[in-house]
Amino acid sequence: MFKYLDYIYEVYKSQSFSRAAENLFISQSSLSLTIKHAEQQIGAEIFNRKTKPLSLTEFGQKYIEACEQILLLSSELENYIYDINHLCKGTIRIGAGNFLATYLVAPLIGQFKKKYPNININLVEGRSADLSSHLEKGDLDLLVTNAELKSKAFEKQKLFSEHLLMTIPIKMIPCANFNSQPLSMEDILSRNYGNNSYIDLSRMNGIPFIGLRPGNDTRIRTDLLYKEQNLSPTYFMEMDQSSTVFIIASNQAGACIVADTVIRTLWRDQQIAIYDIKSSYADREVAVYSKISKCKTAVLQSFIDLLLEKAQDIL
């Protein structure tokens, strides 16, 4: 069915048999006979010859869509083979949220450049909701995120798990009259959760709460775990980055909910108490996503392998 794909696709692009024949360096009569023969073999006409310029039939539209998919896969496979053999110049485009870009992806760039000096990395920071659309459109090669992307167009590779925790300045704890016990840093480093008493969110009234802006995965989960207990947090500050939220809160400005990864990374013996949260919304995975239809080059897989190796240090 696709024996004459190159000829048919050139006619489609040129919208003319004469122009397509010139581009293919064959006679117009020979090209017309070839296309007619192909249509007879297929059993359906691809082109509507009664219109000017030449147009596609209903079947022809479906046929060209299939041709474009074949040409894309062929191009990606050629690039993959060439990449393996030559490690050609190129660019890897990686999207990540601010915290993951800073503390997970960025530290790997120098190591990667030593191995592949001719490959550039374009690191794009932003919200997962925005970056996922860029991945779907092919503007990104990889997306590192803690948000769960539901699209069947993506392939997911888990890097590590995260658990959300409540952070409260010690001086504010008497206001809440907590009965629960805070976690020790040893608990957090060893991910020893579930053995301590959980925080009672209903006792948080009166404590200023700092959160991320709507659309961020941590914000979504924070609102859901409060809603789970028929509560609603009152935000007195909203920021774009988890690291900023944690630093503001740990400097005695208020409480916040952030991932344990943030706490382990930024902990500097601040005067804060950290509490476990009992909710399925408190658990999530950090993963690297790529488009299923995109053929992974050896270089791209090499960066994914670095991410997986780095993730072992976080576990």
Question: pLDDT tens across 103-149, in order?
Answer: 999 999 999 999 888 888 999 998 888 899 889 888 899 999 999 99
Residue 17 sits in a domain whose CATH number is 1.10.10.10
DSSP label of 189: H
**Which residues form the domain of 44?**
5-84
| Residue 280 shares a structural domain with residue 291 | no
| Residue 211 shares a structural domain with residue 152 | no
Q: How far apart are CA 20 and CA 9, in angstroms?
A: 9
| Residue 253 shares a structural domain with residue 188 | yes
| Residue 100 shares a structural domain with residue 213 | no
| Residue 104 shares a structural domain with residue 121 | yes
The mean predicted confidence, pLDDT, of the chain is 88
Residue 168 sits in a domain whose CATH number is 3.40.190.10
| Residue 124 shares a structural domain with residue 49 | no
pTM greater than 0.75 (yes/no): no
Find the mean pLDDT for residues 221-232: 93
Number of domains in the chain: 3
Look at residue 285 and tell me whether its pLDDT is greater than 80.
yes
| Residue 155 shares a structural domain with residue 166 | no
| Residue 141 shares a structural domain with residue 35 | no
Among 7-16, 87-96, 197-206, 219-228, the range with the most confident prediction by mean pLDDT is 219-228
| Residue 113 shares a structural domain with residue 135 | yes
Residue that is last in its domain, among 63, 84, 105:
84
Least confident range of 87-91, 164-168, 199-203, 287-291: 87-91
| Residue 149 shares a structural domain with residue 180 | no
| Residue 184 shares a structural domain with residue 253 | yes
| Residue 224 shares a structural domain with residue 241 | yes
DSSP label of 197: P
Burial of 144 (0-12, 13-18, 19+ CB in 10 A): buried
Per-residue pLDDT tens digits for 17-70: 888 888 889 998 888 898 898 888 888 998 988 888 889 999 989 989 998 888
Look at residue 156 and tell me whether its pLDDT is greater than 70.
yes
